A and B are shown apart, each in its own frame.
Chain A
Amino acid sequence: GESVGLHLPTLSVQEGDNSIINCAYSNSASDYFIWYKQESGKGPQFIIDIRSNMDKRQGQRVTVLLNKTVKHLSLQIAATQPGDSAVYFCAANSGNTPLVFGKGTRLSVIA
């Protein structure tokens, strides 16, 4: 089955700097990847997703990069703001399995 892990449980970034959160997955058959943001006391909020036929996808201030060769996924947040402080989860699956979540990285933005 799939297992998903983040490289760092915590990350501190200065306000205005770029943030990079990394994630590794184990199942080479995984073809869908997604990032969620979870603020304290709230449910996960969708940020961005990417399918395995792509290497990069951009949203508003966020970019997801997928490296299928090394089974690695990253989330880049440009010009990090205090409101970006939260726990970030990556998740992955293939077409017939539920999303498997990693343990999350807590991002703290230093003003």
Chain B
Amino acid sequence: NAGVMQNPRHLVRRRGQEARLRCSPVKGHSHVYWYRQLPEEGLKFMVYLQKENIIDESGMPKERFSAEFPKEGPSILRIQQVVRGDSAAYFCASSPRAGLFNEKLFFGSGTQLSVL
């Protein structure tokens, strides 16, 4: 029974390139969350998605960042024209129930993005 799967584990990009981070939630979970973590910091909420819908993107930067969770396939966090400040660990989490925030999230192992 696989947990949340994220890939790649490590991603290196040069400034100006695009980064695509993928997340497959726990089987049966239809709610996905993306968080960003800087070194020695806590996790910062970015976006909450259900299948084919963005529910809350209040933590997403207004430019260059986008997220989707299609009907089929993994959730994708896309960062266009990356800058050094985008270097961080990006974690995906999933939950099984509809419409609630106040329940535990199951986290993946994260993608470490390094921008050169």
What is A's interface to B at a CB cutoff of 8 Å?
Answer: 4, 31-32, 34, 36, 41-46, 49, 51, 89, 91, 93-104
Cα distance, A102 to B59, chains bound together (Å): 16
Residue B63 CB within 8 A of the other chain: no
B104/A34 in contact, CB under 8 A: yes
| Least CB distance, B24 to chain A, in whole angstroms | 14
Which residue on B lies nearest to A102, using beta carbons?
Answer: B42
A100/B45 in contact, CB under 8 A: yes
| Least CB distance, A46 to chain B, in whole angstroms | 5
B101/A93 in contact, CB under 8 A: yes
Interface-located stretch among B11-19, B65-73, B80-88, B107-115: B107-115
B interface: dominant SS: loop
Instruction: Known A43-B91, A44-B91, A98-B56; judge A89-B42 contact (CB<8 A).
Output: yes
B45/A99 in contact, CB under 8 A: yes
Instruction: Known A98-B48, A98-B56, A98-B101; judge A46-B106 contact (CB<8 A).
Output: yes
B102/A32 in contact, CB under 8 A: yes
Could you say which residues of chain B place their CB within 8 Å of the CB of A95? 100-102
Which residue on A lies nearest to B42, using beta carbons?
Answer: A101
Which residue on B lies nearest to A98, using beta carbons?
Answer: B45
Residue B43 CB within 8 A of the other chain: yes
Cβ-neighbour of B107 out of A31, A43, A49, A102 (below 8 A): A43
Instruction: Known A100-B45, A101-B42; judge A46-B56 contact (CB<8 A).
Output: no
Q: Which 7 residue pairs of A and B lie closest in terms of their CB atoms, listed nearest first? A: A32-B102, A101-B42, A43-B107, A98-B45, A101-B43, A103-B42, A44-B107
Cβ-neighbour of B104 out of A46, A96, A101, A104 (below 8 A): A46
Cα distance, A4 to B91, chains bound together (Å): 19
B42/A43 in contact, CB under 8 A: no
